[in-house]
Amino acid sequence: DIFKTGRWCDSARIEDQRLQQLRDMLPTFCLKSRAENTLTQYRYAFNAFCRWCGAFIPSISALPAADEHVALYIISIAKDYKSSSKIQLAIHSISWAHQLAGLKDPCESALVKLTKEGAIRETSKPVVKKEPITPDHLKLLVQRYKSNNLYNMRTLCMCLLGFAGFLRFSELANIRLMDVSFNDVCMKINIVKSKTDVYKEGHELCIARTHGDTCPVHTLEEYISLLGVEVNSSDYLFRSLTFCKNANVYKVRRDNRPLSYTRAREIVLHAFGEIGLDKSKFGIHSLRSGGATAAAAAGINDRLFKKHGRWRSEKAKDGYVRESIQEKLFVTQNLGI
């Protein structure tokens, strides 16, 4: 238990009850400095380090940890998992635990930094990114899926919204009906929670009516009418469905829970396969990268591009764009040679 080590075991009770109540809240607020998913990963990774330390006799101390032992643990991870992401997570979790406990961070040691760099170089592999979805792919999806079938319309809406809004899966899954509003020109989606919005300031995503077959606004309106639920309710937009054999229709389930990533990925990849795509080359993130690629090709202003996709940095934004062969050739074609 980190909160029984270091600074936490040295602190004596304060006579003033008001100050003591505030002090008792310190661990909670310290933990809130990281996102919930990040905390879960750090706990898991640091516990793995503790188990590794405990496997040696006499037991190696995990907190505080010696820099040499951390370096040896990095080598152990590199040999067992051959994963640079595992190494990064181990380093961050060990550093996090020592900072919480108010102890000297062994990961700041030159020995640990050099070992980490060597291990990452040893285990690094080429990154194989998923292919982006194109507007032509979406047109094929519309031809196949646009109907009065609730199941098909849910799939189509997920694809069109993910593409037009540059939406991450977590953003797409957490949209509620009350977060969406329509007018004659566009629809507005209130993105309550986003990966890059750590202070929960929120983001208003605007998607225009394109008045074409692939218009995400008109398609979403049709999907909501098929749902048969209250428009301004707190119900999630994309939920599990049940097939009613007697009526031969799909109906939304009563439990108000968003689709899981696994199920959503299964649905979207099946749709990609139905229009002839190789499912192994695509994923849910193909929608976000597809929208970003189409926007870049259209010459959208960088500031608007970045804001629409809720990116923090230029590097993160550029990582989603795939240049066409014509764009790649443009450089050498204009060198004057």
Contacts 24+ apart (CB under 8 A), 305-308: 308/165, 308/166, 308/205
CA nearest neighbour of 265 among 240, 282, 250: 282
Q: Say if residue 113 is exposed, middle or buried (CB neighbours under 10 Å; 0-12, 13-18, 19+).
A: middle
CA–CA dist 222, 157 (Å, integer): 9
Domains delineated in the chain? 2-123 (1.10.150.130), 135-324 (1.10.443.10)
170: enclosing H helix or E strand: helix 169-173
Long-range own/partner contacts, residues 268-274 (CB < 8 A, 24 or more apart): 268/155, 268/158, 268/159, 270/155, 271/141, 271/144, 271/145, 271/155, 271/156, 271/159, 272/133, 272/137, 274/144
Q: Return the residue matching tokens 């060597």.
A: 118
Residue 334's pLDDT is what? Answer: 80
Tens of pLDDT along the chain (337 residues)?
Answer: 788 888 888 666 777 888 888 888 988 999 888 888 899 999 999 999 999 999 987 888 998 999 999 999 999 999 999 889 999 999 999 999 999 998 999 999 999 999 999 999 998 887 788 899 999 999 999 999 999 999 999 999 999 999 999 999 999 999 999 999 999 999 999 998 777 766 666 788 999 999 999 999 999 999 999 988 888 889 999 999 998 888 788 888 888 899 999 999 999 999 999 999 999 999 999 999 999 889 888 888 888 888 888 887 777 777 777 777 887 787 887 877 8
Tokens at 151, concatenated: 């199941």
d(CA 91, CA 73): 10
Which sign does the torsion angle of CA 298, 142, 162, 234 carry? positive
pLDDT at position 194: 75
H or E stretch including 174?
none
What pLDDT, on the 0 to 100 scale, is given for residue 145? Answer: 93
pLDDT score, position 198: 66
DSSP letter assigned to residue 239: B
User: By three-state DSSP, how is residue 258 classified?
Assistant: strand
